[in-house]
Structure 1
Amino acid sequence: MIVIRRRWLALSLSGLAVVFFGFEFLQTVGEGNKGLESGDSRKIVAFSLKKQIEIESEEVACSGGFFVGVKPEKLANGKWTQLDGTSIFIYSIYFDGRLEPHHYLRTISMVKGTPGKEFFCQIATSDGHYHITKAVVTKIWSETWNQNDTHLYFNPYLISCHLPVNKTSVYFSLNEKPCQIAPQKFVITTPNVENTTSFTVCVKPLNFRNDISEQLLQWIAINRILGAEKIDFYVENLQKKPRQVLETLEKHLNGGLTLYAHNQIAQEPTFKHSTHIWQKRRYEIIAYNDCLYRNIHTSHFVIPLDIDEIIVPRHGSTWAEILNRTDDTFASFTVRNAYYLRHFNVKKSTEEVFFFKRTVRSEFSDEGESGKSFVSTKNALTVFNHYALRSLKPGVGVVKFLNVGLAQLNHYKDDCDTVILPECAKYLSSPVRVADGVIFKFRRLFFADRAKNHPKLTKTATMVTEEPTESPLVDETKPKPKPEPLKPFTLEILKVIKNAQQQHGLRHGDFQRYRGYCSRRIRRLRKVLKLPQGDRRHFKKRDVTDSHITDKKADERYLEIPLMLSERCWAYAMQLRQEANTEPRKKFHLIQKLRKACVYALQLEELCQQERCDARTKLESQAYVAWIQGSLQFELQIWLKATENLKKAQMIYEKLGSALAENEQAPYKQRVVEITPSLRYCAYNIGDEKAVDLLELRSQGVLDNFDALVSQSKQKTEAVLHEVQWFGIKIPVRIERVRLFLLSIEGLDESLIHAENNQAKIKILENLFIDLRDIISLARDVVRTEKQDQLLLSYLLSIRVERTSQRHLLLMQQTRKSQDCVRLLDIIIQQTGELSQNESIKDVKLAQDYYNQQLQAFKALRVYFLAKTQAAQKRFKEAAVLYDSASKALAKLPIKNKFLKELDDLVKSVRDTVDVDKITAQANCVLDQQEDQIQVPQKVYKSKKPLIERLDEFREEPQLLSKNPNIVSLPPAMEPIPAKPLFYDLALNFVELPDLTEKLEGGQKKEKGAGISGFVKGLWGWGKK
């Protein structure tokens, strides 16, 4: 029986181990992919490592020698080699033996656009055989970083070829067809691993035109103190002095610093500035991956760093102490970023070391934003500037963000580049500033190392030998400044518990699972915050007190401990409620757990009432306590007090939800709806509706400072920019990239004011248009797919129109031709008119008034410049009329307006000069009229025409009075006549005809013998036929 029990116990423990391992595996995968897109976080999800290698090692059957007569090629350091007949440019090839016994060749390359075709690896082994496998092409880029067309760029790719197992590979080539003779072959070399290091720092290609030698010396020294055993510099373009400094250090450090040349592809086209930035980023990724594979067998971690970044341990003194607290199941461990910008320091520092000059930083960046990582050479497949892009094998997380209590990334920048780092603008505009001198604990070590290794170059080694107890910016002769206010704590209680409940059982009503999560969460919090309650054998109660909250180094997660304790008791009570249907005795246990939940909730409220907690946290704690107490009184059937507390909680949640952004209101509205049935049941049991109304009126005065707290919450919500207002219309900003863009342009007008000249202003606006184009494209896609955010798209379009108008007005200040001004104003008028007719603001009076005034101003300016064009062409009448029209139109514009600064300045300038120009045009017009009225004296000249031919002209001609007047031309000039004249037959008029009288007499005699009857007939007309 004992043996059977032992076996059963062993099987049970084995099953639990399997379940625990599976849970840890899923947790590792989920945590490792946090903050990354699903397409970029894992290489193969569905296959195991064994299946993956099996697919990649599948060979293609071919016969014949592929390398016969082909000479082997060697890759030059930092130079590109194009693969004949393809669009592939090879940078470097490395042997990868991390997946023993399976080996790979990793080719770091670039391709213009996309490869488009499959590639095959042709490998020759030492036994004379050939092996052909399909190459695995992995893009080392994410399309979410830059929305421009990828075909414009040379894109980085990692081409992997599986080598035959248990065979020595000699030559290698890539080909588009598996059985085709290789165009080139490369020699495969297996690295000899002699010494290994823990940390290698990789520096992207240096391209500086100024002297950075002193900064390089300081940066190298502090990194070697922190734990950098080897630093690989990629050099593209440096001045003579910093190059000599690096070459000297390379010899002096005996392998601790290495320089590698880095060049661009010769066929690369010339890009404009915005496009060149993203091509430059692609070259940097090539350098980082080359550094990774150069050190996969000789270093445990590589760290991509810039020369203005330092990873500083907060607890401990080296990087090794940081990573001793982490596990080995991730490809990279990321340290969150903090900006030390130049204008954060109010006082001018006398320090000469750049990282000791600045002691004021921004708040830490969010997870997923810019940071720098310890990249594991054991687990990473590809890497980029901030962390690993892909892990080497399935089951390994890509990135894990380290707690800011372990380390921080000090980023020393002079200004923000919003094209590459849009999140920098968020921290630049944030009011949060933190005095942080954590790096000063390395001050003594730094100066000691500098004096020892670089005595000639150091200037400040003897100035300070001890670590300062205060900030070096403090002037001892002046009174000490007041301590800076503590960073306020914010705990979104309802959001925290709702998310936890949805993820851990309450979606299916599983209160026991949620209770178990609360216990594990409490244990993790106490472990991280170093607030344990004794050890395994002895229990010693330790509650969170005011001292934990008011401490300068306090963590806001202290507030989560009483919250989770209360949630655990509440979840147990709800579990007992479900079981009380069959076991009534459990209701007593239920009530005890709710009482205990109320105790922890009151403890949470007491902590949240400290000055360090913001208004939203205070409101949420009061609402949570009211809800917990109302729930207890509901179970105890104390209906009046239950109604009072539940109504109080409902009111706070309702008001607090209305003060927040639209996308954060959902949990508060849901809680209000959940409380309503309980209030109705209480009212039913009270039986007096008036009593409920009195309780509602009473609850309205339950918080003396309620309105002030809600007002503070509104102010903080507006600072986060969850929505924008456009002519009184509230527009929610749900898209994160749009939110960051709108934050980045808040200081645009100030930047334009401080620009050196108009050309610099135009350049700033053109850089804005590049980002704005991508943001509008993204908003259009969201509108097209989700049928929402139409108002946000219209708002972005209005920004583009207004900034385009601003750019055109700046161009008008540079041009000298009024015709060009007219053309630019035509464009402005057309765009502004189209914007005013937008459906979103067509019925908004404020918008219509604003754009109508702008259109009037632009049209008046157009008329003015048309007048100048007419005046330049000497058409002074038309110019005078147009000047008069422009003067009348400008007079109708309001003096106080909300125009753009450039438009307002131009309107004022034209208003001052239009009357003068009008009078000038009128004067020129009068002068032209007088010149027309003056008779020009006719010249006396001798006419060649005779007088008879110009009798209709009066001309004083003294020649007519001379002895030889020109009166008529003699002889007359010959005149042409028709060739065939007309003949008129007039001869008949002169022909004499013969007399025919005799012949007519006979006829007359016959008429006389006709008789009287004939006469009568003829007289009366009878006898006519």
Structure 2
Amino acid sequence: MEIDQKESDSQEQIGPKFSINVLQLLKSAQLQHGLRHRDYTRYRRYCSARLRRLYKSLKFTHGRGKYARRAISESTITDVRFLHVVLYMAERAWSHAMEKRSLPDGPNSRQRIYLLGRLRKAVKWATLFAQLCAIKGDRRTSLEAEAFMAEERSQQAVTMTEFNWLGHRFPINNAKTRVSILKARELEKDLHGSVADTLTPDRRLSLFEKIFTAYQDARSCIRNDLNTTDLSDLVSSGRESNPEEVAFSDECILKGLTFRAERCFYLAKSYSLAGKRAEAYALYCHSRSLADSAIQKLQTTKNHGKALINDLKALIDDCRTNSCIEHAAGIMEEEKAPEELSQGVSSIALAKKGKKIEGFLLERLNVYESALGDPNSKEIPHIERFPPPFQAVPCNPIVLDIVFNSIEFPSLENRMKKDKKEIGCQKILKKKEFRCRDLNPGRLGESQIS
């Protein structure tokens, strides 16, 4: 009864899974309320009216006098209509943005800013809808909500036609690049927003990883579009570059050398702990050469960082010390290897040396006594020897088969098949034998007797 009660309590805590056919719901709503004729204003008004009806039916109002928005969270959703509220909020924001976009003369600068803000709102509500459906919805609803979120992000990415980098504007023609840059910017807002002080170190680290991943995806797309190997090629591509770009490129090169030197040093540390002396020695030497080249380039720049140079000098000293240690340890291990091998070979024996343990379980089956011993003691249970000791095994006896040559086997001629010619010859011989017997029977008898 207690188990059944626990299972029922866990089911009540999990709650039911809601189901929404997102694609069919949105398609029917859009076709019936204006989007068949691209009337975004009518569809936006329908979404607003639909939201008012949902708020009223759910008794989820925001106050009569002073407006105070009530947030929708995981604990709030006790009815599937709460998910409908989030869905239609995203649709209303999207239709409002499309209404500004479809103006006859096109949106001006102020309207364009408002359009981008509404698209950001649409992506925000779509993301919340996908997160809530992943928790409160079934599997099909969750997958359709993720598809809806991806569609909203792609719609937002369409409006992004260029990006700024080092004071220059570059056009964006690839949709995947737009989506990746927008995703990185949204994560940066979470990182530097109002809740940045409340983020834990692990959460901040995960945000940085997601931002780097998004920018790496955008970078790969830009590489494919430009036939370039690196973003630094934009500086050395033959066009006019300002001093800020040149300084940025030099700084990237120097920091790249520093990072490679430190990474090589710690990789050598890992090889040293694994006992691979030759690999560790080579990596320490390579790290030292990288740090030397980085210091030489830092000293040629005007605004070189003294702290970075001091760190690199300390790294060079550590590399020199550790390389000497690895070299000495490698020589000592090489000298000791033959001696250890000879000692190991000489100590090999069939019987195990040391204290002989008596009284294993198989040897004491006739004694009523536990082989595990006292449960409070730390003594190893004497059940069976493992691994089992080596034992001398006798070889199979050598048998020489010398009787085979003296065996006389029976004749098998009566079982062999004979040819027709041979059978005919035998019949003729028998007839001649009978004739001779009839002509001279006494002589034939004598010949048979002899």
**TM-score, normalization by structure 1:** 0.16
Q: Which has the higher helix share?
A: 2
TM-score by length of 2: 0.35
- Structure with bigger strand share is 1
